[in-house]
Amino acid sequence: MNLEWYIARRLIGSKEHKSSISAPIIKIAIAAIALGLLMMLIALATGVGLRHKIREKVSAFNGHIQIYNYDNNSSEVSIIPVSTHQEFYPEFKITDGVRHVQAVATKAGIIRMEDTFEGFIAKGVGTDYDWSAFEEFLVGGRLPDYSDALNSEVLISRRMAERLQLGVDSLFNSFFLKEENPDRIPNQRRFQVVGIYDSGFEEFDATYIFTDIRHIQRMNNWQADQVGNFEVFLEDFEQIDEKGAEIYGRTLSNLDTQTIQNKYYQIFEWIGLFDFNIALIIGIMILVGGINMITALLVLILERTPMIGILKSLGTTNWSIRKVFLYNAAYLIGLGLLWGNLLGLGILAIQWKFRVFKFPNPEEYYMTYIPVYLDLSTVLILNAGVLVLCLLMLLIPSWIITRISPVKAIRFA
C-alpha cells in the first residue's frame, strides 16, 4: 500500500478538511486553476483557429505552392504560358504529401457600367479547380460550372457586386487589354453573375472574379494545353517550406515555384505573432495558478503541523511527508483542471457551433466571427503541462516540512 497516498486520501475526505480555516483558501486556489486553464484554452483555441482560417483563405485564392514560368517575373497576371504536359499534372507524382494540383490563368480587365467602372483580375479555372473553400464563402447564387461547353458564368465578390450594383443573374461587359499590343482594340467579354462570394479578405475580394479558363486562353491566343500557372495544395501546411524546396528541385529548369508564405510574407509574419501571445498568456496563467497553489499548500502545512510532528516522531521521512501534501495538492489541481476543462471546452463548443462572439472590427482580422480550433492531443498536453509545472513549483514550499521540529510540532498541538 502507498502510505502517502492513503494519508492524503484520508485528509481529502475528512469533514475537518472541508470545514477548516484553509477551506476558503483551497477553494480560491481551485478557482484560480480553473480560470487559468479556461483562459489558456480560449487563448490557444482562438489563436490557432484564427491562424488556420487566415491560412485557409489565402490558400483558397493561391494554393499552398505556385508553379509558373520564370519569365512571368512574379506578375499577378499570366504572361508566358506553361504547358500542361508536366510530370506533376494532372496527378502530382514527383513527391508525396500533395493533396491536389490545379491549372489556372489570370488576366487583368475592367468592368464598365453606365455610372462607374472597376478594375479586376479574372482568374480562369477549369474542371480540375477545387471549389471546396468557396462553398463556405458563397453568400448568393451558386458556383460556376465549367464542365461543358464554354460559357459566360462568373463568380464575383460581394464587395465588387455592391460597388457595381450587380446581383445574381446580372450581365456586365468587361474589357481586357492585349499584353502583346496594348494599343490594339481590347478584347471584350460579356459575363453573367451566377454566384457571389465573401471571403472577408478585402485584398482578394476587391481583385478577383472567377471565370472559365478557356476565355483567357482564347484572348491570349494560347493552345488548349497552355495555362498560366499551377496551384499545389499540400496535405500538411506545416511542411510548406520543405515541400516548396523539394518541388522546386524536381521541376524543369524553366519553371519557378513560390510558397504563399513568401508571396504574402507580411500576413504570415503577423499571424506568427499569435504564437508569442499564446505562450505569454499560458505562462502568466500557470504562474498565477502556481502562486495560488503555493499559498494553499503553505496553509495546509501550517494547519497540519501537529500531524507532521507525529509522523516524524514515528520515523516517517521528510520526503514521505512532503509526498502526502504533494498528493493533496495534485488532487486540488486536478479539481481545478476538471472545472477549467468543462467551462473552457463548453464555451469553445458553443462558439464553434453558433459563432456567438464576433470581431468588433472584422476588416482587421479578415472575418466576422472569432474562429476556434483545438484538438484532443493539445488539450491533453496542456493539462499535463499545467499539472506538472504547478507540482514542480510546489516542491520548494513543501521543503518547509523539513524545518519542522517533531517536539515543537507536537507541543504546538
| Residue given cell 462572439 in the structure block | 357
Concatenating the DSSP letter of every residue in 327-393 gives HHHHHHHHHHHHHHHHHHHHHHHHHHHH---B-SSHHHHTSSB------HHHHHHHHHHHHHHHHHH
Tens of pLDDT, residue by residue over 20-69, are: 667 888 888 899 999 999 999 999 999 999 999 999 999 999 999 999 99
pLDDT at 182 over 80: no
What are the contacts of 148-152 at 24+ separation with CB within 8 A? 150/212, 150/214, 150/215, 151/212, 152/189, 152/190, 152/191, 152/192
In this prediction, residue 74 has a pLDDT band, given cuts at 50, 70 and 90, of: low
Q: Nearest-CA neighbor of 78 among 222, 267, 185?
A: 222
- Integer-rounded Cα radius of gyration of the chain: 31
pLDDT for 411 equals: 66
For residue 173, what are the β-bridge partners? 112, 190
Q: Fold for domain 82-227?
A: Cathepsin D, subunit A; domain 1 (2.40.70)
For the chain, the domains span: 3-57+268-412, 82-227
The model scores a pTM over 0.75: yes
Helices (H) and strands (E) in the chain, counts: 15, 12
Q: Nearest-CA neighbor of 289 among 147, 391, 390?
A: 390
Mean pLDDT of 97-114: 94
Tens of pLDDT, residue by residue over 334-349, are: 999 999 999 999 999 9
pLDDT at 138 over 80: yes
Checking DSSP bridges between strand 208-212 and strand 117-125, what pairing results, if any?
Answer: parallel
- Contact yes or no for 216/158 (Cβ under 8 A): no
Mean pLDDT of 109-117: 89
Mean pLDDT for the chain?
91
Amino acid at 100: H
pLDDT for 193 equals: 98
